[in-house]
Structure 1
Amino acid sequence: MTASALTRPGERDRLSTKISELDWRLIALLCVIAGMGTAMLYSIAGGHWQPWAIKHLIRFGMLVVVMLAMAMVHPKWWFRAAYPLYGVVLIMVLMIEFTPLGYEPAGAGAKNWLNLGFMRIQPAEFMKLGLVLALARWYHNHTAQEARWSWKLIFPAGMIGVPFLLIAKQPDLGSAMVVGLTGALIMFVAGLSWRVIAAGAVAAVAIIPPFVMFGMHDYQRNRVLTFLDPEADPSGTGYNIIQSKIALGSGGFLGKGYGLGSQSQLEFLPERHTDFIFSTVAEEFGFVGSFFMLACYVGVILIALRIASLAHSHFGRIAAAGMTGFFALFVLINGAMVMGMAPVVGVPMPLLSYGGSSMMTVMFGFGLVLSTRVHRYAELPKGTGLF
């Protein structure tokens, strides 16, 4: 039994004790990744803090404080807020579709932002958080047999399917993919029957061809076809992937040097500050730099999964694992995308790419993971739940 387990309950609630229970390895790795993101944004801008690097750094600094504050909050409050938060974010997604507040950035090709006047937000990013918490609460209140196979699984399936379809309709295929895969991952972690998983995998494979041909917009279909054969249109739809591969390969083992990447500095590489920033890392720091960055991401994922496994409450385990899952999906999808192993779907590399909504989602998620770490001995009562 650990020293923390022997601590009297009243002492565990002290702020100093909670701070000592934080996993500083996880926090340090997040700082390293965001620091590397700031350095790359500075390089991409030609050695200038504007327009990206300083904003990236300031946002991260502010969100670290928010993350640590969230870690001090007892999981019972996240448990109580799970369904209301999911409902609020779902309403925001609906507002994009059915109200004039829906906003489409120039050249984005998707109406996926909500213009509130004083600020613009991307509800699809926050849906990942709301979905994880809502599913964690649902599974906390149901038995292992019900999680394995039961008619009641229609409720978590609905919680996943409704936002997936709404976000895909915007159309924001990248965010919809992360939402759907995150939900599926949570159902798997919660104990879904292998037969159901196998049937779902077969159905997904069967539905992909007709979905690509009839369910996608023309530009989305072109992205898939370009992924299969980018050289078919090297100066058009295949341009992004080809330039990304050139940047990845030209870095060699040690890279061209900081600030010396021709693809990014000469602006051949598109979206070099967001979707394809990892290609810039590979060009300037080579295989060594790329391996280091991926090692940092793997370290974050392993530490967070360890935190999830140590939580005493089922809610804490599912929530922490779900938060880690969507972070891992970001890394996997973006990494595959820039290497030409997946279609370009606009999924950023977390904390490395420039973007406020994405960073906020990731940092909020790790605030909840750290809350699970600090309060890992907390027990939450089971009940019938909302469903």
Structure 2
Amino acid sequence: MASRDFIRQMPGQTIGAPRGLLSSIHLDPILLILLLVLLVAGLFVLYSGGDSSMAVVESQCARIGVALVVMVVFAQLDPAVYRRWAPWLYGLGLIALIAVLMVGVGAKGAQRWLSLPGLPRFQPSEFMKLAVPIMTAWYLSRHFLPPKLSRVAIALAITILPMVLIIRQPDLGTALLVGLAGLFVIFFAGMSWKLIGAFVGMVAVAAPAMWFFVMHDYQKQRVLTLLDPESDPLGAGWNIIQSKTAIGSGGLSGKGWLQGTQSHLDFLPESHTDFIVAVLAEEFGFIGVAALITLYLLIIARCLYIAVYAQDSFGRLVAGALTMTFFIYVFVNIGMVSGILPIVGVPLPLVSYGGTSIVTLMAGFGIMMSIHTHRRMISA
């Protein structure tokens, strides 16, 4: 039986009425300003982390331009469009993931990309970060909430299937992000704490089996390195040791822009991608990192506001899941660079150099803006 969502109404107001130019083109001005500030600040850090290369900055600017266009386009679509197309988008994503395993392009020991005639090379797994929460929200929002155990099981199947295909690539980091996006939808739908406890218990019991039969040798090495990086300081532990050295040497206010030694003397690996926050910490110190985290928290707070005031279950579930997935991005990257989490190759969102990731993230923000600005008109 379909659920009956109510429309939120404040006394004496008209919800959904345009309040300016940006609202009329379905862009949330507060979220847009916060994102632009983060993107511009990220370019300054990227210039330093990329060995003062304008080519890197120009390439990133081109990708940001594409991502902004994608965000604007996604914001124009009514949330009903995403609801209607959810099964088709999810099915297309599964087909693409299967195609990756069969005819995908490999690099650095992983087969994660598709190269189609007339299109740039892309990672279908990035697309599933959007398709999985949208599909899970579509399924759960069609029924009364909180969901019954049988519907929770189906929602978990929707989430786990693409995870298995992504792990086969192998790409454990992305698989976990995709899985968390689906799990957040189930959690926000009203999953009972008993079921959550049972699920955590199952994961704990399955962990030893995953260690021996699922995880690859390099993934096991990352966990062992986290526990004792000094055991191989010139090998597996090099990255995290140099990262923590860069973070610690920044002190309170940092060494100054372009003055970092760990990155500019090539001690810090992947300084323009996964470890770019270490560059920020070395050059701008604790103050710079605190400012960055504050900016991320403001973005997350605005997105949670959009989720809370969405008008139907589908919008609330999608916006909430996308917001928490963005939070996990930030938490995992900063955690692995500072040595409290294993290194899993998750970039710092909207700051690290990259193409597919930034486009996917901005598409997610476009969906949230769509949910916020397409609210139905209600007379006071």
One of 25, 47, 54 as aligned partner of 1:49: 54
In structure 2, how many angstroms separate the alpha carbons of the residues matched to 1:208 and 1:378?
50
Q: CA deviation at 1:326?
A: 1.3
Question: Structure 2 CA distance, aligned partners of 1:314 and 1:214?
Answer: 38
1:179 aligns to what? 178
Q: Which amino acid aligns with 1:116?
A: L
Aligned match of 1:384: none
Following the alignment from structure 2 to structure 1, what is the Cα–Cα distance between the partners of residues 337 and 10? 44
Which stretch of structure 1 is more off in the superposition, 69-78 or 221-230?
Answer: 69-78
- Cα deviation, residue 152, structure 1: 2.5
Read off the aligned partner of 1:60 and give its amino acid letter.
Answer: I
Q: Give the AA of the match of 1:92.
A: A
Alignment partners' CA distance in 2, 1:227 and 1:17: 46
Q: Distance in 2 between matches of 1:16 and 1:24?
A: 9
Task: Give the match's secondary structure for 1:40.
Answer: helix
How much is the aligned-residue C-alpha RMSD, in angstroms?
2.1
2:84 to 80, 84, 98: 80
Tell me the number of residue pairs that the alignment of Structure 1 and Structure 2 aligns. 369
> What is the CA-CA distance between 1:66 and the residue it aligns to?
2.6
SS in 2 for 1:366: helix
Measured in 2, the distance between the counterparts of 1:47 and 1:222 equals 32
Kindly indicate whether residue 14 of structure 2 is the aligned counterpart of residue 6 of structure 1.
yes
Counterpart residue type for residue 313 of structure 1: D
Cα 1:295/1:17, change in 2 over 3 Å:
closer
| Counterpart residue type for residue 85 of structure 1 | L
1:1-387 to 2 correspondence within 5 Å? 5-6=13-14, 16=21, 18-19=23-24, 22-50=27-55, 52-98=56-102, 100=103, 102-105=104-107, 107=108, 109-118=109-118, 119-145=120-146, 147=147, 149-377=148-376
Deviation at 1:220, TM superposition (A): 1.0
1:154 is displaced (CA, Å) by 2.5
* Contact in 2 for aligned 1:86/1:127 (Cα 8 Å): yes
Q: Name the SS of the counterpart of 2:196 in structure 1.
A: helix
The more displaced of 164-173 and 16-25 is 16-25
Question: Per the alignment, do residues 378 and 217 of structure 1 end up closer, same or farther by CA in structure 2, a change over 3 Å counting?
Answer: farther
Please state how far the C-alpha of 1:174 moved relative to its aligned partner. Answer: 0.5
Q: 1:243 to 1:17 in 2, by over 3 A?
A: closer
Q: Which has the higher contact order (CA 8 A, sep 6+)?
A: 2
Structure 2 Cα separation of the partners of residues 339 and 32 of structure 1: 24
Task: Note closer, same or farther for the CA distance 1:182–1:378 as it changes in structure 2 (3 Å cut).
Answer: farther
Q: Return the letter of the residue paired with 2:137.
A: A
Shift of 1:348: 0.8
Q: What is the rounded CA distance, in whole Å, between the counterparts of 1:257 and 1:4 in structure 2?
A: 52
Residue 190 of structure 1, CA deviation: 0.8
Deviations along 1:163-211, whole A, 9 cap, x unmatched? 1111111110100111112211211111111101001112212222331
Runs of 5+ unmatched residues, structure 1 = 380-387
Q: Percent identity?
A: 41
The farther-off stretch of 330-339 and 114-123 is 114-123
Change (3 A) 1:15 1:126: farther
Partner secondary structure for residue 336 of structure 1: helix
Indicate if the aligned counterparts of 2:22 and 2:29 stay in contact, CA closer than 8 A: no
Contact 2:253 2:287 in 1 (8 A): yes
How far does the alpha carbon of each residue in 1:14-48 deviate from its partner, in whole angstroms, 9 at most, with x for none? Answer: 99584376321211111121112211121123323
Show the counterpart of 1:385: none
Secondary structure of residue in 1 paired with 2:183: helix
- Pick closer, same or farther for the CA change 1:231–1:95 going to 2, 3 Å: same
Write the deviation string for residues 101-154 of structure 1: whole angstroms up to 9, x where unpaired. Answer: x0112x2x3111112244110111110100111011112101114x1x321223
Assess if the C-alpha contact under 8 Å between 1:313 and 1:378 holds in 2: no
